[in-house]
Amino acid sequence: MPSLAIVNIGTLVSGDLARPLLPADALLVRDGHIAAVGRRAELDLSRCATILDANGGAVCPGLIDSHVHVVFGDWTPRQNMMGWIETHIHGGVTTIISAGEMHLPGRSTSPAATKALAILAAESFRKLRPGGMKVMAGRVMLEPGLTEADIAELAAHGVTMAKGGYGAFPQATDQAPLVAWAKRHGMIVTVHSGGPSIPGSNRIWADELIALDPHICAHLNGGPTTLPDDDLVRIVRDTAFMLELIVAGSTKAMIDIVELAREHRCLHRLMVGTDTPTGSGIQPLGMWKTIGHIAWLGRVPPEEVIAMATGNTARLYGLQRGRIAPGLEADLLVCDAPLGSPAKDILGAIARGEMPAVGAVLVDGEVVVWTSRNTPPPMHPISLRESA
């Protein structure tokens, strides 16, 4: 694969909460991976086939939406819309992670159907990248009747994710053995939190979440309703699992959770998703909206919030992307403050709660979007040229 260089980077956001900004103005991409990061004068760009000039704009990892509801292909039955995944990549999202394919019309909850749906979704999206989007799909819904042998069979077919909180268990804690089986077989487990979102499911508050002990507490700020305030304190203070914040939940609860995480020194546990498409609709810029709320209302440096929406999630799932470092997959955004903003750069725009401009989206080092149709144009126009 030909190599590509991005030069004249004004702000390089790493996606790593421990070191969110990098003192570099150029990076080199080769064979779909980041080959080098540094100063332009120090990098050998002589063999680059293509030069992308950021013109003082920013480069950051592609966003990773930790909570979406795919079904099959680039179609959502909840909104009866085609092309929603492709339009999300125009919002700077390069990876979406399924929170379960439960929106399939007529979905059966029998163990056989539950397994079949997860296996089919996982295998389908391994071959399908709508608009270039990397889709992690096939999250088995933990339903009554599933056995550990079923979980082992799913794992053998490449299903790596599970979700609790939707099954028709008499008590939410009745699914604890299934959560434990899924974890034992290497699956990343998320559990619904808050009030029930579908008929027949349970309210899941702090006692239930602590008993189930998932990897991820899904949409802690509400999906659709959040936990009582005292329970939010317990979840942040007394557990170690990841805490997911979504655009479709309560903004007040989101900021309360951010402040609690800052108090308890666990911003590394925060991750960002949209929980779309659902009744709240299609939100291609939902990730940026949440990033802006956390930065502006939560008073968190924007580069740290971007890490919550990239590197924090990548770390949990073991993804070789979501951060900018040599050897990692080159899923990258060239972005900026929007044209007309009072802010001088993307960090200043996000700190004001503004929507940034997405100038280019790269997946595995290939440009898949050139100037997003969903955001304003960048303050500093970028350019792409063949190397001289």
- State the Cα–Cα distance between residues 339 and 323, nearest whole angstrom: 26
Q: Report the run of H or E that residue 87 belongs to, with start and end.
A: helix 84-89
pLDDT at 81: 93
With beta carbons less than 8 A apart as the criterion, state whether 288 and 305 touch: no
Q: Which domains does the chain have, with CATH numbers?
A: 4-61+323-386 (2.30.40.10), 63-284 (3.20.20.140)
- pLDDT means over runs of 10, the chain (388 residues): 90 98 98 97 91 97 98 94 96 98 94 98 97 98 97 98 92 96 98 80 89 97 92 98 96 98 98 93 95 97 98 98 98 97 96 96 97 93 84
- State the Cα–Cα distance between residues 21 and 29, nearest whole angstrom: 19
Give bridge partners of residue 26 from the DSSP assignment. Answer: 38
Give bridge partners of residue 378 from the DSSP assignment. Answer: 338
Backbone phi, then psi, for 361, in 5-degree steps? Answer: -125, 125
pLDDT at 262: 98
- State the Cα–Cα distance between residues 49 and 106, nearest whole angstrom: 50
- State the Cα–Cα distance between residues 358 and 62, nearest whole angstrom: 11
pLDDT at 195: 82
Of 349, 328, 386, the C-alpha closest to 22 is 328
Residues 225-229: contacts with CB within 8 Å, 24+ apart?
Answer: 225/194, 225/195, 225/250, 226/193, 226/194, 226/250, 226/253, 227/193, 227/194, 229/256
Pairing of strands 81-82, 75-76: antiparallel
Give bridge partners of residue 273 from the DSSP assignment. Answer: 246
CA–CA distances in Å: residue 173 to residues 102, 210, 236, 237: 21, 10, 20, 21
pLDDT at 5: 97
CA–CA distances in Å: residue 177 to residues 181, 210, 212: 6, 14, 9
Mapping DSSP to helix (H, G, I), strand (E, B) and coil, where does residue 314 land? helix
pLDDT at 199: 64
pLDDT at 254: 98
Entry pTM: 0.97
What residues contact 71, with CB distance under 8 A and at least 6 apart? 77, 101, 103, 104, 121
- State the Cα–Cα distance between residues 375 and 367, nearest whole angstrom: 17
Q: Name the CA dihedral angle for 225, 226, 228, 234, rounded to a multiple of 10 degrees.
A: 160
